[in-house]
Chains A and B, each alone.
Chain A
Amino acid sequence: MNDRKTRIPWLGIQLLKMLVPEENLSLIIGDFEEYLAEEEQEKGRVAVLLMFWVQILKSVPAFMIQSLRFRILIFNHAIHMAVRNMKRHFSDALLNLIGLSVGIAGFLIIMMYVQDELSYDQFHQKSERIHRVLDFRKVNDIGEESASAPTPLAERMILDYPDQIQAVVRFFNFQAPTLALASYSELGEIRQFNEPRLYFVDGEIFDVFDFKLKQGNQESALSGPNKIVLTADMAAKYFDKKDPIGKTLRFEDKTDFVVSGVLEPPPSNTHLKFDFLVSFETLDNPIVMRERLRTSWIWNPCWTYLLLKPGVSPEVLERQFPTFVAKHFPESRRGRVKLYLQPLEAIHLHSNLDYEMSPNSSMIYVRIFVAIAVFILLISCINFVNLVTARANRRFAEIGIRKILGSSRTQLIWQLIHESFFLSFVALCLALILVWLAIPYVNELTAKDLVFSPLQNPWVLKWLIITYLGVSVVSGIYPAFYIADIQPIQAIKGRVLKGAANGISLRQCLVVGQFGLSMLLIIGTLVAFTQFDYLQKRQLGFKPEQVLLLPTLRSPIMGHYEALKADLLQNTSIVSLTTVEDVPGMRHQTGGYKTADGTEQQFARLIVHDDFARTLGVELVTGRDFSHEFGTDAEESIVVNEEMINQLGWGTPENALGKVLNDAKVIGVVKDFHFSSLHHPIGPFVLERVYNDARSLSFSARYIAIRMETKEIAETLGFIEGKWKSLVPNAPFEYKFLDNMLNSQYKAESTLSTLVAIFCSLSLLIACMGLYGLASFAARQRLKEVGIRKVMGASVTNLVLMLSSSFLKLVGLAVLIAWPVAYFLLNEWLQEFAYRIDINVWPFLTSGLLGFFVVFITVSFQALKVSLVNPVHTLRNE
């Protein structure tokens, strides 16, 4: 023994203690002592100290390998045991794994969807400072809540509030459904299309938002008039593969725009969706936009986005808006205009105003999806726990032997947790494959571009790790503690234990919880489907089938309307035609109307042409439709709906004829029909006849509506296109079917109900898989009992009923718990709709019966198997 002090620094010892496995520690420290003693004689103390640390660093990889190897040894053992157990009880293990992986896959897919919904417009660096100006114009709560503002507002705002506002960007498209563009190649080939996603924008767009140009200069691409940038897809549509920069696109057959840039494909998670951007200065040209409209404070067509300076609070700015309104808006509007600011990031999920740029989603749906995702994961975890604890009884002997051989409780728990980590890892891998396979279908269903690449998307990776750890720990800990508490002697004897009894009651709670959640999802799906069906089938009050809409706003066709009408009506397939100011059943305009006593009120309004009621299939209660036989309908006549008569207290429809609104006489009353979407109730409604001058026709006649009555739809369409082309050869012809357009309004609901249905069936499937496993376990446990009962004369039917009843009782309890919860939640959801179904008893009964039926099938299959066993086999060992 040497009494010299150690040469190894204290820190070095601690480090070695951490790194080196216990049994090698002393040896390694010894080696270091020896090494340092030798070297010290040659090189001196200081150098040796340095050399020590160099050696430690060099040795770290070796130490790591050794300690890891020890861990892996134990983990390896756990994996061995897990694999052996799986092999021995293959079908159980398969059920267990499939259930868990389907659950994880469902959870991941829904969370990816939700994440995409939540991420809307957040990729802009300055998104928190960007706000949209809202323009509410209401009197007595009637009027419009517009997401867009007057055109000159942006210019005024930045002049009036230079300290608060850094930049303004407007999006403007004349509020037209489509705008016409055409390209002319050198060879004389013309390509013309109606573009729905073309916007005039301010040049600051690239500073304010994070949209980028692939080609072209972001500073100058949209400054100066007649400049256009477009996406690569659109460039290919008009110019094939040629470089589009410097090429021209003709707008509405009048003005040439020069292509000054190509846009990077914009991310899909933004509510600003566009294919073309045109410089705002272009609108200063009176050929493109008339002076009167350009400077109008009455018309509010511009989606206006303010970039606030850092530190400016939107609430403070909002408080100054009443002064702004008083200063700039014309006298007649001041009383009713209120301006608000809306954060950019809130638009996609929290905004459902009039004139949104594109239909938005809703936070409610996001919440519903999160709830479903958590339900599914919970159901599959419960399954896993149930099956593991049930199976644990089979492992009593193994655990008992281990205890006798000296395994400590901790070691046993660790072994079982390791097993659960291993199993959930296998399940996770399966789940990833499932997600990968399912993503294309999900994208098709939801019209999103979800990308499943866990390594590129840190968010997915995060959820994967959380899910994995969560599932492993939750599903591993309870069985681990439960099994590890078993008394060895009893375990080997195979007795039913106290602990086991507790386990079964907890398992029963879990089964109830699991089926309660499944019931909830089933009822939810049934109600959602009924509601959706109701929305689609509800009497709209008009007939949108076989009605064709041709977008005409700013199209030269309106100059030839009478000629077109005469031409088209020669075809017997075409019943009648009219024009409409907006899509009936979807949107409407509003107007202020003075009643006879001089008060003015806001009412929903559509400006239409002759034969409106006939074309749309609206029923007249009394009076007449607008007609060319009376030359003065535009100036003197209006048509109202029944609700208007109620509202104004005019008594009977006949009594209403001849009443005066805005100096125009009521000439007809139509039955109430849903002029806007079914999310809104029917209000008072006015139909006006469009003026015959070119200006009114081009502005107020946004669509020509044509009622056809034919089976030869393609032929009739060809006929209409031929007539159109003969009148205006340079304006692109385009059409939409009204019923398709109306159904697209309920896309959010329809996607929701489909997704919910899919995931609800999944959850029921998972729950049944779990129950199947439990039932088979329970049935096997009672083999001997069944044998004795059989010997005593019980029939197979008796036995099946006896074995199934315990599970059916649990399901009954689950149903009783799920019903009130479902009723409460669905009632909340239905409040969203102005027209909704009453929740009746059927979805509840159906779900309960379905639950009982499925459970009975699952359980009785196992029960039957056990009941049919010859008692000789089960009883001969006793």
Chain B
Amino acid sequence: MTLLSRTEEMLLLMVCKLQDEAYGMQIRNEVKSLTGKLYSIGGIYVPLDRLVAKGFLEMQDIEASGDRLGRPRRRFTITAEGIQVLKETRQIEQSMWELPDAVMKKMKLA
């Protein structure tokens, strides 16, 4: 099975979260505001393209408006495979986080 990297997981979740607004720039801004990690403008597409190549995302260039002076924007949408792999990842993480009670107690104390 595929194990997503943290970046991949984060980007997939962002795309889900932004839904119809999941354009490159918006994803970049969202990543910045949530995690503080700042991609360069060209750089954000590198991991996104990789996810597209893996089949977890689909992309679509859309006629644009507003500040873009008529330039298209690229919208990403998650595929069924993408959702599947996210679920699997969450399951694994959850199962990993199932810690014995003794440890949980210690963690609370700390």
Contact = CB atoms under 8 A, between A and B. Distances in A.
B64 A62 contact: no
B65 A58 contact: no
A2 B37 CA distance: 31
Given A2-B66, A27-B24, A33 B71 contact: yes
Interface of A is mostly: helix
A29 B67 contact: no
Interface string B33-69: 0000000111101100100000000000100111111
Interface string A54-80: 010011111101100000000000000
A26 B25 CA distance: 14
B69 A6 contact: yes
B73 A27 contact: yes
A38 interface: yes
B24 A31 contact: yes
Nearest to A24: B45
A59 B43 contact: yes
Contact of A62 (B46, B61, B67, B74): B46
A32 interface: yes
Interface in A41-95: 55, 58-63, 65-66
A28 B43 CA distance: 10
Nearest to B26: A34
A327 interface: no
Contacts of A29: 71
Interface residues of A, number: 27
A28 B40 CA distance: 11
B70 interface: yes
Interface residues of B, number: 21
Contacts of B49: 66
A756 interface: no
Contacts of A35: 25, 41
Contacts of A405: none
A20 interface: yes
Contacts of B24: 27, 31
A38 B43 contact: no
A30 interface: yes
Interface in B84-109: none
A37 interface: yes
A58 B42 CA distance: 8
A4 interface: yes
B39 to A, nearest CB: 8
Contacts of A65: 46
A566 interface: no
Given A27-B72, A65-B46, A66-B49, A38 B67 contact: yes
A1 interface: yes
A30 B73 contact: yes
Contact of A30 (B42, B43, B46, B64): B64
Contacts of A2: 66-70
Contacts of A1: 65, 69-70
A32 B67 contact: no
Nearest to A64: B42
B58 to A, nearest CB: 15
B40 A34 contact: no
A65 B66 CA distance: 30
Given A27-B61, A27-B74, A20 B67 contact: no
Contact of B42 (A4, A6, A26, A63): A63
Interface string A2-26: 1010100000000000001000101
B40 A4 contact: no
Contacts of B43: 58-59, 61-62
A55 B39 CA distance: 10
B67 A66 contact: no
Contact of B67 (A26, A34, A60, A63): A34
Of B70, B71, B72, B74, most A-chain CB atoms within 10 Å: B71
Interface of A: 1-2, 4, 6, 20, 24, 26-35, 37-38, 55, 58-63, 65-66
16 contacts: A1-B69, A2-B66, A2-B67, A4-B69, A30-B73, A31-B25, A31-B41, A31-B68, A31-B71, A34-B25, A38-B67, A58-B40, A58-B41, A59-B40, A65-B46, A66-B42
Closest A-B pairs by Cβ, 6 of them = A30-B71, A59-B42, A37-B67, A58-B40, A62-B42, A62-B43
